[in-house]
Structure 1
Amino acid sequence: MATQPETGTPEAEDVTRFEIYRGKDAENFDELDCMEMTGLTEIIQDGIVRAGEAGAGEGQLVKMLFSIPGMSLTYAWFKSGFPLPLHSHNADCLYYIVSGTLRLGTEDLGAGDGFFVGADVPYSYTPGPEGVEVLEFRTANKFDIRFLGKTRKFWDKTVASVERRRADWAKETSPPARISS
């Protein structure tokens, strides 16, 4: 924390010293302006729209738990097999798996595991059969998302996956005693 040399008191821009947040008060990510989509092409925009129309929103729940300048904590629940597109962010992110499983490359990770993704490093993962709940600790409260699937074929595959999984997602309920939708 930056302090004023003479007084030892916090500088005006560094006023958050202690704060409680409650999961029940968390806002849906899509209602916030914390994540800007960058690098959009017509193909990517069309793919995002088509995935949304196919029901991608039904396969995920993402909420901002806490946010101050230079730091944020996000809760995400991705239902089984959710096709998280290859993407990157312009901020470092540390992931902690609360429950469920995911596949990251050739690694299977479960509750208590996690991974770090540096700024601008492309990544994707696939939730396991029971889905996955993750906490995302970021070094920023405002950041971007850059989708890296640049072909129509990539987005056709994503949309097809959403269409295949949608009926199963309707039967999946949120993990108990955590963030509700």
Structure 2
Amino acid sequence: MTDPVAAPRFALFRAKDATDFEESGLMATVPPTPIEMAGSIAAVEAGMLEGTRVKLLFSMPGLSLTHAWFRSGFPLPRHSHDVDCLYFILAGSLRIGTEELGAGDGFFVGANVPYTYVPGDEGVEVLEFRGSDSFDIRMLANNRAYWDRAVAQVSAQRAHWTGETPPSGLSFGPEPGGG
């Protein structure tokens, strides 16, 4: 018997057809704590969303691939996902723990392992490979001091973000606002 929703045996995808990740519905948010909620709201109001762009490149049952661009100094909150994730740095650089990684480097984060990283001076573009087309995100930043620093970082970096372009020079999907 053939499974009608079986994964394709071959598929193509194109950068121009990438869609906004937020619209994909692939990632469910575990309800944040009141501190995380208040901090997230404050960071968004300060302009945090201007520091990131995430596009879904490909998805099928049991597999997904996204492209994430974080501008310089973007304050990525400590978080985890309920699936394994493999990251490949396409361009730019980041610091994770004490390690500096650049284009061609990568890292693996197992399911439910907390992590964060800091984009370098040019920002960072990563390809995110997941062995699932459905996963969660759990914020692990239940600390007012963290969110105060994140809001300050957004405020300090926001003017720089305006002139930044993806370090790879690649474009994925339409620009925000239909451009």
- Normalized against structure 1, the TM-score is what? 0.91
Aligned to 2:38: 46
Look up the equivalent residue of 2:126 and give its one-letter code. V
> Equivalent pairs: percent with the same residue?
54
**Aligned pairs for 1:109-148 within 5 A:** 109-148=101-140
CA RMSD of aligned residues (A): 1.3
Look up the equivalent residue of 1:23 and give its one-letter code. A
Q: Which has the larger radius of gyration?
A: 1
Shift of residue 13, structure 1, vs aligned partner: 3.1
Counterpart CA distance in 1 for 2:67 and 2:7 is 24
Aligned partner of residue 9 in structure 2, secondary structure: coil
Look up the equivalent residue of 1:49 and give its one-letter code. I
Counterpart CA distance in 1 for 2:30 and 2:101 is 29
Counterpart CA distance in 2 for 1:69 and 1:134 is 22
Paired residue total: 173
Aligned to 1:63: 55
Counterpart CA distance in 1 for 2:7 and 2:82 is 25
Q: Deviations over 1:103-127 (max 9, x none)?
A: 0100000010000000000000000
* 1:179 aligns to 2:172 (yes or no): yes
Aligned to 2:65: 73
Aligned partner of residue 171 in structure 1, secondary structure: coil
Aligned to 1:7: none
Structure 2 gap segments, 5+ residues each: none
Worse overlay, 57-66 or 153-162: 153-162
Do the aligned partners of residues 15 and 31 (structure 1) sit closer, same or farther apart at CA in structure 2, a change above 3 Å counting? closer
Q: Deviations over 1:89-108 (max 9, x none)?
A: 00100000001110010000
Worse overlay, 23-32 or 55-64: 23-32
Structure 1 gap segments, 5+ residues each: 5-9
Counterpart CA distance in 2 for 1:39 and 1:117 is 21
Look up the equivalent residue of 1:153 and give its one-letter code. A
- Normalized against structure 2, the TM-score is what? 0.92
Counterpart CA distance in 2 for 1:51 and 1:88 is 19
Counterpart CA distance in 2 for 1:169 and 1:61 is 12
